[in-house]
A and B are shown apart, each in its own frame.
Chain A
């Protein structure tokens, strides 16, 4: 996003206005974004390193970390396979109803996280449509790990697909057609031609998908049931500690999530700077 700064007087602002605008914009960013980020870490270490370490190594915290990792490890690959399949179907073929399909794929982004959790409660909950059948067969989805995974998949559903669709549309079909005409099979074409072409865009989508999957709160909160040590993810653990006025411990766990956000931002920026052309032109949200 390095637009050439203008030097021509007629098409730029005077120095005072320039400094003024930059000052206000940067101050806004510092107050509204940077200050909260700093505050997370300050609060986490407010009582020193000992209490911080104790808060993140306590058994309930560790089980929350474990559950968060498990949920991300299931939901991200699921959405990865879907993203690649959907992008392949949409980018490589012309068929009826394609733009409607793209709209449907984006749908979870315009649904409140709370509603994303609610729909599964209405489907699988004790009073839900399939509730009685599930109870008969002793299958627990709501207030259990499967519900958390489903809600996470729902909220992160579009991430990888929407990175890959524009990228693969832009790349067209000529390279695949060349490979096929030289005798490669469909799978060979995918692994050796398409995948190398989309790898950075794919990684970019996975990065964003993972950040959301590990950090999701609203949807997961509705389906989890908040059982300590069993159905608590890291964001839910943060909430419980905060509501118990155990602020230092709450911010300690929160700081791990903030660190994840920072790592995500750094990797995302590196991908944008180094492989900007190989990530979809419309990669930015």
Chain B
């Protein structure tokens, strides 16, 4: 054993350290790190100024705003309904519960392109859901003479991103809620707290870290989402064009540097998100242990 491995790792009788770590690192570098490095290199050719110039281009800015804005709204919707679903799945007993629990993961399992064409068809003007909001219907007429258009508008983008993000919130909150100590609730109730104030003051604060983590995961996923969005979005520049699509457009124009610049801006924001998620998870774990 050389001096460096002796210092950097604790001794173990189990063989295979060099083989497994060496292979893992080589694979990690070849598949993930070197290609990501190529991206940074390509964007680096533009310099920070060049990247920022592209990022504040009106069309790019509109796409970034839509991607992050719609993702935020979708993650908020998922925060509310995800918490509700987790609550119902953990606390209540009803027939078919196991099936309902399994279906929550559908957006993880269903290929994004399939989700995309299906949502676009459902929410189109003549689709099963879209036609309910047409101008001739009672609900649709509430939204003005044209009814409520969902497909091919930013609203359609939000619907697709909501579909994609739901499991993240449910699956993060569910285990925390299941482990929640009943005695704390009983104590609150025995001290005279109403059910609502027990929820607001005792249960909700305990769930908040997990809820925030789920929210952040759903948000991060939505920001990068492509397949389920492009069919329903209509992809009108400045209106319903998401940032990942703009990367594809730049690539099709052979504007490699432009594509790389938008990608780097998106990655920088995602990186900050990842950092926040990790901190939240540590905070969550520390609280769970306490």
Contacts and interface: CB of A to CB of B under 8 A. Distances in A.
A binds B: yes
B272 to A, nearest CB: 10
Residue picked from B166, B244, B245, most chain A C-beta under 10 Å: B244
Interface in B67-102: 81, 84-85, 87-94, 98, 100-102
Residue picked from B128, B225, B226, most chain A C-beta under 10 Å: B226
B41 to A, nearest CB: 7
A11 B182 contact: yes
A82 B23 contact: yes
B288 interface: no
Residue picked from A1, A40, A108, most chain B C-beta under 10 Å: A1
B78 to A, nearest CB: 10
A13 B39 CA distance: 53
Interface stretch (A51-59, A132-140, A266-274): A266-274
Contact of B256 (A94, A110, A121): A121
A37 B128 CA distance: 13
A237 to B, nearest CB: 9
Contact of B10 (A95, A154, A211): A95
Contact of B248 (A6, A101, A114, A120): A114
Interface string B150-188: 000000000000110011100100110110001001100
B121 A247 contact: yes
A85 B24 contact: yes
Contact of A110 (B23, B103, B108, B270): B270
Given A97-B8, A242-B117, A285-B108, 16 more contacts: A11-B185, A29-B104, A32-B162, A86-B20, A86-B28, A92-B16, A104-B33, A114-B245, A118-B260, A122-B41, A215-B113, A217-B111, A238-B117, A254-B111, A265-B109, A285-B168
Residue picked from B89, B106, B223, most chain A C-beta under 10 Å: B106
B227 A123 contact: no
Contacts of A89: 16-17, 20-21, 24
Interface in A186-201: 186, 189-190
B220 to A, nearest CB: 6
B111 A214 contact: yes
A125 interface: yes
Nearest to A130: B38
Residue picked from B8, B12, B119, most chain A C-beta under 10 Å: B12
Query: Which 6 A-B residue pairs are closest in the complex by CB-CB distance?
Result: A112-B224, A215-B111, A10-B189, A95-B9, A217-B227, A218-B226
B224 A114 contact: yes
Contacts of A285: 105, 108, 167-168, 171
20 contacts: A5-B93, A14-B195, A18-B92, A36-B122, A39-B121, A39-B128, A85-B21, A89-B21, A89-B24, A110-B274, A111-B224, A118-B260, A118-B263, A122-B35, A157-B31, A208-B108, A217-B227, A218-B244, A235-B111, A273-B98
A173 B254 CA distance: 52
Contact of A25 (B85, B189, B195): B85
A6 B238 CA distance: 51
B143 interface: no
B94 A95 contact: no
Interface string A210-254: 010011111001100000000000111011001000010011001
B106 A265 contact: yes
B113 A92 contact: no
Given A40-B118, A127-B254, A33 B106 contact: yes
Contacts, number: 314
B123 to A, nearest CB: 10
A211 B108 CA distance: 9
Interface of B: 8-10, 12-17, 19-21, 23-25, 27-28, 31-36, 38-39, 41-42, 81, 84-85, 87-94, 98, 100-119, 121-122, 128-129, 162-163, 166-168, 171, 174-175, 177-178, 182, 185-186, 189-190, 195, 198, 220, 223-227, 231, 244-245, 247-248, 251, 254, 256, 259-260, 263, 266-267, 270-271, 273-274, 278
A39 B114 CA distance: 11
A10 B186 contact: yes
A89 B175 CA distance: 28
Nearest to B87: A21
A275 interface: no
Interface string A91-107: 01111110001011101
A109 B168 CA distance: 13
A14 B245 CA distance: 48
Residue picked from B15, B32, B39, B128, most chain A C-beta under 10 Å: B32
A146 interface: no
